[in-house]
Amino acid sequence: MQDVRVATAQFEARDGDKAYNLGVIEKLAAAAASQGAQLVCFHECSISGYTFLETLSREQLTLLAEPVPGPSVAALQAIAGRLGVILAAGLVEVDGDRLYNCHVVVDGTQLLAKHRKIHEFISDHVDCGDRYTVFDALGVRFGILTCYDNNLPENGRMTAMLGAEVILAPHVTGCLPSPMPGRGIVAPEVWNNRDRDPVRCRQEFDGPKGRGWLMRWLPTRAWENGVYIVYANPIGVEGGTIKPGGSMILDPFGEVVAECRQLADEVVVATLVPEKLELASGASYIRARRPELYQSMTAPNPHLQPNKRPEVYWKKHRS
């Protein structure tokens, strides 16, 4: 790995409004490029919108979906070319009769990578991906894991074992019902009143509904694998829910090196350096593995029914 300037963004996307969302992506990417960013990461389905997909029929999803590459990828590539950066953003992909939650990475001339979310649950019409994604750019090996993909330690470990030094982690998460104490939704009026009462909004976003929950596990993914993580999440209204933003970049020690803190669209930039990869413990943990002891990891669990689509509490209990 060599030094690289990477950015992560948060913004309030509009459901199904690809032109608007691409316009915001260009604006934030331009701001990042002005600070020397070479790659800018946006959240899950940032081009199409995400949570509202659960309300769409298969026919409606198919109308929203695009091939990859396709029109939105071409538009993203044109933005990347104008700004001289690499962009990572998400959309719904159609491939034959299958639909996927797809995160694409482009520069001004080509599609560098695409990742189909491995653990998809937003709609029964959207299929789960079946492979890990790594790619080389800017003298760095990147990996991609989308939202819930990051919750399973095995996915971060496998991506690191494929050589990833930086994992792009686009999300749409936070502020949803949960049995965990302190978690739950943020009332729309809290977000709508953010300019008059920013303290209350920030308390909601920073507590266990948002950042507090995230910081229980996301730094661990960076630390246990010795990788940088570039986390991107929307802020504000998203598919009828309120999202807390908080896009951030974590180093291989699990420390936050840059973080979006505004109650608005924002982008932050950090320099990722190879020395931290060399000093962090994650690589030694991978070398210390005892694969001969792990056979049961891939065997069916007699006490649990296998389910690649996560059992998500908020979908079962949301009105």
- On whether the CB atoms of residues 248 and 10 are closer than 8 A, the answer is no
For 39-96, how does the pLDDT look when each residue is reduced to its tens digit (9 = 90+)?
999 999 999 999 999 999 999 999 999 999 999 999 999 999 999 999 999 999 999 9
pLDDT of residue 239: 93
Q: Can you tell me the distance from the alpha carbon of 284 to that of 281, in angstroms, rounded to the nearest whole number?
A: 5
Identify the pLDDT of residue 295: 87
Asked if the structure places residue 300 within a domain, the reply is no
CATH number at residue 135: 3.60.110.10
pLDDT at 311: 62
Q: Is residue 161 part of a domain?
A: yes
- For 114, left (φ over 0), alpha (ψ -120 to 50), or beta? beta
Average pLDDT over residues 133-152: 97
Residue 295 located in a structural domain: no
Please, which pLDDT band fits residue 117 given cuts at 50, 70 and 90?
very high
Percent of the chain with pLDDT strictly greater than 90:
89
pLDDT at residue 302 greater than cutoff 80: no
294 falls within a domain: no
Number of domains in the chain: 1
At residue 147, the pLDDT reads: 96
The two structure tokens encoding residue 95: 């491939």
Residue with tokens 């020395």: 275
In the prediction, which pLDDT does 317 show?
A: 43
* pLDDT, position 279: 94
How large is the average pLDDT for residues 99-111? 97
Is 302 inside a domain boundary? no
Q: Is 30 part of any domain?
A: yes
Give the domain range for residue 312: 4-289+307-317
Q: What is the chain written as a DSSP string?
A: ---EEEEEEE----TT-HHHHHHHHHHHHHHHHHTT-SEEE--TTTTT-SGGGGG--HHHHHHH-B-SSSHHHHHHHHHHHHHT-EEEEEEEEEETTEEEEEEEEE-SS-EEEEEE-SS--S-TTSBPP-S-EEEEETTEEEEE--GGGGGSHHHHHHHHHTT-SEEEEE----S---SSTT--PPPHHHHHTTTT-HHHHHHHHHSTTTHHHHTTTHHHHHHHHT-EEEEE--EEEETTEEEE---EEE-TTS-EEEE--SSSSEEEEEEE-HHHHHHSSHHHHHHT--GGG-GGGGSPPTTS---SS---HHHHH--
User: CB–CB of 265/24 below 8 Å?
Assistant: yes
59 is a domain residue: yes
Flag whether pLDDT at 111 surpasses 80.
yes
Mean local confidence (pLDDT), 109-117: 97
Where does the pLDDT of residue 305 fall: very low under 50, low under 70, confident under 90, or very high at 90 and above? low
Is residue 297 in some structural domain?
no
- Given a cut of 90, whether residue 133 has pLDDT beyond it is yes
d(CA 276, CA 263): 31
Q: Which of 155, 153, 154 lies closest to 117 in space, CA to CA?
A: 155
